Structure 1
Amino acid sequence: MASASFNPNPTLVAPTKLSSRKKQAERRSLWVDDEEDDSGLGSEDEELIDSDEVFDLIRSISDPEHKSMSLEQLAVVSAPQIDISNERNRVLVEFTPTVPHCGMSTLIGLSIRVRLLRSLPSRFKIDIKVKPGSHQSEQTVNKQLNDKERVAAALENPALLEALETCLQSAGRRGRPADAD
């Protein structure tokens, strides 16, 4: 990683409260098997996902440049930038880099993709895109993030995988990066 910062003074936003669905999931006993849950949703094919739930999954990912800050705190991701179609089994996440020349955009998008691949039912097709007009290389970044072969190759790169895992270490920790505890 280069020592120069792409955005040395990012603007921060206050984290939002966890969705009620996330709070309910946190209150559930760790010993309850999802198939025995009394909600009637026994298999992953029946589970409905909403944008708040996806946002809760990605909001706490650490920014690769500003490791003590989450993507939510930097306003890189937000619930309105997530589109879910349970009928078509598709998830679209648009993210907004902090600066138009952000060199970490591909790593940010890859972190979002991997977090969702690890967390959502396998029936979902996941599309990750830079918010239109927010990055000078928007088309190139989008192409890299949504090409299966490029993503697979990136995940085989040990240095890139280590950087990715660093970003994901804080994911799922109640919306806060690891250093916020």
Structure 2
Amino acid sequence: MEQTCVENRQSAATSSSSQSEGSCGFSRRTKAVCSPGTSSPCQRRTTGPIRRAKGGWTLEEDETLRNAVKTYKGRCWKKIAEFFPDRSEVQCLHRWQKVLNPDLIKGPWTPEEDEKIIELVATYGPTKWSVIAKSLSGRIGKQCRERWHNHLNPAIKKDAWTPEEEQKLIAAHKIHGNKWAEIAKVLPG
């Protein structure tokens, strides 16, 4: 039985490492012969909403993702996502880039990395974290942002809290609850 299969279209931009139209042997619309029990793009839902797993990744899924990334050399995220009926290509890409990629550095920061972040923030400002991360091999934008805002930003006060600051904190907490970003606006530094 012949069917028309429409490959998934993700409206969100996946990343520079995702592939453009036709790069994995598929175009945006593909005609394919689909037979029951085959593992093809037709088995994945392509029109209407895509089911997405809401829970965390299992160890088995992580291992499957590692193998798929190895098979497709970190490209063809649409094909890689075919191994996961309940995960989108964006979910697979993000899991790889932000958690499983063995090139990702998760350990302590070196003084050289700290100096580089300070230099890059002076150049690009404290908002271009993806751009900054490209100059720090093994680090992602989120890591760079947290390092800056929690440790390197010269506006951070590192001395002990004064009694006045503690009172402001208590008063702000009564107003804002656990909305720490709002409380931080009342207590700069």
TM-score norm. by structure 1 comes to 0.25
Counting helix residues as a fraction of each chain, which structure ranks higher?
A: 2
TM-score norm. by structure 2 comes to 0.25
Higher Cα Rg, which structure: 2
